[in-house]
Copies of this chain bind each other. A is one copy, B any other.
Amino acid sequence: MRIGELAERAGTTTRTLRYYESRGLLPARRGENGYRTYDEHDLRLLRQIRTLQDFGFDLEETRPFVECLRAGHPEGDSCPASLAVYRRKLGELDTLIEELRSVRAQVAGQLLRAEQARDELAAESRVPGGPEPECELGGQTW
């Protein structure tokens, strides 16, 4: 199988495969004509990489999984180094999710506060002085 077919079967591009090879992650044998040659096992490795990439793993983080498969283990995560990556990733995800939840809460709070300030201003101007509730920005009047 040549590079184009492998790329297509894995749902990626030839550029990506050459990039992986340049990183030493997915080396290829060469045919007489210099073309890269791959087999089903390479497809397996590639799919492992892609799956982890889809999960947001850095390319380097997929290396233990690939090496594990290449060492003949049944799964990419059949080796302790892969499990260590899983665990580290879980920790990173937990931290990140917590941070995002915190940011979300703060933004929601700001939005609420800003909307209330806006409404109070609107109510105020409707009653005592006289109406003057315009904002020149944003293309719309409140």
A residues near B (Cβ < 8 Å) are 55-56, 64, 67-68, 71, 73-75, 77-84, 86-87, 89-90, 93-94, 96-97, 100-101, 103-104, 106-108, 110-111, 114-115, 117-118, 135-138, 140, 142
Contacts and interface: CB of A to CB of B under 8 A. Distances in A.
Nearest to A80: B138
A60 B106 CA distance: 20
- State the majority secondary structure of interface residues on A: helix
Contacts of A55: 103, 106-107
A87 to B, nearest CB: 7
29 contacts: A56-B103, A64-B137, A68-B137, A71-B137, A74-B117, A75-B114, A77-B110, A77-B111, A77-B114, A78-B118, A78-B135, A79-B138, A81-B137, A83-B111, A83-B118, A84-B138, A86-B107, A86-B110, A86-B111, A89-B107, A90-B104, A90-B108, A93-B100, A93-B103, A93-B104, A93-B107, A94-B104, A96-B100, A100-B100
